[in-house]
A = this chain, B = another copy of it.
Amino acid sequence: MILERFKVPEKDQVLVDDAALRRTVTQIFEKLGVSPDDAAEAGEVLTMTDLRGVETHGVSNMLRAYVRDYKAGKLDPRPGWRMVRESPGTAVIDAERRLGIIIGPKAMRLAVEKARRVGVGVVTVFNSGHFGAIGHFAMQAAEQNMVGVCFTGAGLSVVPTFASKPLLGTNPIALAAPARHEAPMLFDAATSAIAGNKIRLAMRVGSPLLPGWVTDKDGTPIMEEKPIFDRDDVYQAPLGGTREQGSHKGYGFALMAEVLSTVLSGALPTMLVPGSGSKNHFAAYNIEAFTDLEQFKDTMDTMLRTLRTAKPAAGQERVLYPGLSEAEEIQHRRAHGIPLHKEVIQWFAECTSEFGLAPLVTMR
């Protein structure tokens, strides 16, 4: 569910078919030295993210950063990883500077395997590149009749409550759970008041930031609505914005994600090693180890339908649940195409030309 202010203005939109996008993205990864299997995995993660409407983490913001980091040698394109420690229900992976969106699907598959055997599986990963929208990996588990949960510790942009500088990342938390007829639940949220990429997106579309979203360079929350012209003028506030509005909870959730991903993988948090990679936690809960699978899906259906059909508050159109608008967006974008900003299309043109690839096919 993305606020109107973050959408690409219609006049700047170019529509792209998801199959065309997946193909071009996969080809770009191959040109960067990534194996065909891994390139296909990366193409799938990024395209699904844009299909879901999570454009903050799709090709627009992320692909160019990935390309830049491969070229700079910050990311290792080779396949594989290093298993550091393993038990029947757990594993710890050193990603050895591989890209998160390539490691993520494998890590969640390993968690699912473990959950199939002992009921629950947890895999932590450190020393990797960016993981994209982690809800994607949680959904992988949901597609295997499990509940999927992910935590990320990454970045250094969020100011703890009462502090004067950033010591935590936007550290997102995600959960996906299957239903029967209803769209699956898919919750994926930064523990900051606003996702980091949304600031870049707001700058691109010229939208102002709202009170409580960011702090000044002293750490004090900015409580007036204003546009941002320089990303470096502000830090990010935890979910809640101010202590009175619950920022200590957003801060606590960020720290929870940091412990479960970073510290539980034996790594150091970014506050101690600035510039260190992303750390992640992938958990799969095998529903059948807990209860009857069909009953679980029926309960999810009834619960999600109750939310979806609840009477809205005055002036509101309808009640959503996490994952509903994403599922609707997938249907709509599969039929009508993915809207990309013309500036992003321009980047694709330069990138495919540089690599000697066929241009990205657009729909208009």
Shortest A165–chain B CB gap in Å is 7
The reply to whether B160 and A296 form a contact with Cβ atoms under 8 Å apart is no
Shortest A53–chain B CB gap in Å is 14
Residues of A174-207 contacting chain B, CB below 8 A: 175, 177, 185, 187, 189-191, 193-194
Shortest A295–chain B CB gap in Å is 6
Shortest A236–chain B CB gap in Å is 12
Residues of A83-102 contacting chain B, CB below 8 A: 84-85, 87-90, 92
The reply to whether B306 and A167 form a contact with Cβ atoms under 8 Å apart is yes
Bound form: Cα–Cα A307–B319 in Å: 38
User: A162-B312, A264-B291, A287-B264 in contact; A252/B189 too (CB < 8 A)?
Assistant: yes
Q: Counting CB contacts under 8 A, is A331 at the interface?
A: no
Interface size on A, residues (CB 8 A): 98
Q: Counting CB contacts under 8 A, is A26 at the interface?
A: no
Bound form: Cα–Cα A240–B295 in Å: 32
Shortest A137–chain B CB gap in Å is 15
Please indicate which of the listed interface residues A212, A252, A290, A295 has the most CB atoms of chain B within 10 Å of its own CB. Answer: A290
Of A27-35, A56-64, A114-122, the segment with at least 4 beta carbons within 8 Å of chain B is A114-122
Pick the residue among B175, B264, B302 that contacts A290 (CB under 8 A). B264
The reply to whether B256 and A175 form a contact with Cβ atoms under 8 Å apart is yes
The reply to whether A88 and B311 form a contact with Cβ atoms under 8 Å apart is no
The reply to whether A313 and B89 form a contact with Cβ atoms under 8 Å apart is no
Q: Counting CB contacts under 8 A, is A263 at the interface?
A: yes
Which residue of chain B is the closest to A87 with respect to CB atoms? Answer: B119
The reply to whether A245 and B210 form a contact with Cβ atoms under 8 Å apart is yes
The reply to whether B313 and A164 form a contact with Cβ atoms under 8 Å apart is yes
The reply to whether A271 and B120 form a contact with Cβ atoms under 8 Å apart is no
Q: Counting CB contacts under 8 A, is A16 at the interface?
A: no
Bound form: Cα–Cα A320–B167 in Å: 13
Which residue of chain B is the closest to A122 with respect to CB atoms? Answer: B120
The reply to whether A220 and B187 form a contact with Cβ atoms under 8 Å apart is no
